[in-house]
Chains A and B, each alone.
Chain A
Amino acid sequence: MTTISNGAPPAEGLVTRDTPVGFELVGVKKRAVIQLMGSRLWGRFNPNHWDPRYARETGLAAPIQTGEMSTAYLAEMCVNHFGRNFFTGSRMVCKYINATLADEIITTYGVVREKTPKGDGFRFTVDIWASNEDGQKKTVGTVEVDVGV
């Protein structure tokens, strides 16, 4: 029987216990859209996140995204690859090392660095980062996720 996907990732994700160290995750790509950066739930409380004039007055070249937006981009990549496993006992560490400016295009990346045997499977450690089109890293970190445990 053929089932039609509704756009959801595979329940178990794309990474299996056989996925090797060095495997590269396929990231997500987003534009830092000023209207989204300044939406009420995200950055409207602080005009540095959406107002060019205020940002310039405070020394910024342009409005900057909240760091949590790039965390959300990276989490979306992780859910695509680890599925339900990302919601139980995973760890995500992020450092915001450069500001994401309005209109930049951000792509997320991940590379499996390590697999530690655990139960019937492994705890995967993945280096993750988000960069702009010039390759400038904005957010760097790691995730740890159990697969097949």
Chain B
Amino acid sequence: MSEPTAGTDALRPMTSIQVQQTRDFVESLDQESQPYWDMVEIGDELSRDLHLTPELVILYADGVEDFNPWYEGWVMNKWHIDGQSPFGGAIVPPLLVSHFVLSVQFDHTKPFAVGSIHTFHDTTIHEPIPVGATVRILTRATDKFVKRERRYVRHEVTVTDSETGVLYLSETRDILSL
């Protein structure tokens, strides 16, 4: 267990027990992992289903302080509601599922490849996603390239409704790897 040192609480107030818990947590993340470049082969496909619960949507939107009522399928006091948007009930913020692509293209059954940076996305939003839908995120590695002595891995992504197959979003995205 590492010794707590100055710095952990530099940007937010903490007591000694909070500092220690933080250091313990950071240490627990230290796993043996490969660079992302070595983990991925062109043609690799990964897929996972994600249930877009009202609570998940609120967690996402609150994190970026986006309080648009269109995204509310859950409000305090009432809890679950149908919500209201120009499409009827509550919908998912337009780029929410793009954020979760990370949890698919980085094979979650393996240690996370530290030192990887998301650098680019080209996203088409085809249809609004209703809050409560379950979506299938499919990623396919399409290219590995070096640009200005940096290594990049490119993926093509589709997000579809798990039940109906409706295409909600498609995306090209690049990850810079150590």
B123 touching A93, Cβ below 8 Å: yes
A-contacting residues, B53-91, CB 8 Å: 56, 59-60, 62-70, 85-87, 91
Given contacts A41-B63, A92-B125, A93-B123, contact A75 B93 (CB under 8 A): yes
Closest CB of chain A to B122's CB: distance in Å?
A: 5
Residue A67 at the B interface, CB < 8 A? yes
Question: Which stretch in A19-27, A51-59, A113-121 binds the other chain?
Answer: A51-59
Contact digits for A25-52, partner B, Cβ 8 Å, 1 yes 0 no: 0000010001110011110011100011
Given contacts A45-B112, A68-B98, A69-B64, contact A52 B121 (CB under 8 A): no
Q: List chain B residues, Cβ under 8 A from A69.
A: 63-64
**In the complex, A73 Cα to B67 Cα: how many Å?**
12
Q: Is the CB of B67 within 8 A of A87?
A: no
Residue numbers in A under 8 Å from B23 (CB-CB): 53
What is the distance, in angstroms, from A69's C-beta to the closest C-beta of chain B?
A: 6
A-side binding surface: helix, strand, loop or mixed?
mixed
Task: Give the residue of B65, B87, B95, B99 whose beta carbon is less than 8 angstroms from that of A30.
Answer: B65
Let me know if B119 and A91 touch, CB within 8 A: no
Count of A interface residues, CB-CB < 8 Å: 50
B119 touches A92 (CB 8 A): no
Total interface residues in chain B, CB < 8 Å:
46
**Contact in complex: A34, B11 (CB < 8 Å):** yes
Indicate if B124 sits at the interface (CB-CB under 8 A).
Answer: yes
A41-B59, A90-B124 known; A51-B26 Cβ under 8 A: yes
Closest chain B CB from A98 CB (angstroms): 11
Residues of A within 8 A of B70 (CB): 8, 79
Q: Once the chains are docked, how many angstroms separate the CA of A102 from the CA of B12?
A: 11
Given that A39-B63, A41-B59 are contacting pairs, would A6 and B69 also be in contact in the complex, using a CB cutoff of 8 Å? yes
- Subset of 12 A-B contacts with CB under 8 Å: A36-B63, A39-B63, A53-B26, A66-B99, A67-B119, A68-B102, A87-B94, A88-B125, A88-B126, A89-B125, A89-B126, A95-B120
Contact surface of B with A, Cβ cutoff 8 Å: 5, 7-8, 10-12, 22-23, 26, 29, 56, 59-60, 62-70, 85-87, 91, 93-95, 98-99, 102, 112, 114, 117-128
Of all A-B residue pairs in the complex, the 9 with the closest CB atoms, nearest first, are: A53-B7, A84-B86, A87-B128, A11-B86, A72-B64, A52-B10, A41-B59, A68-B99, A34-B11
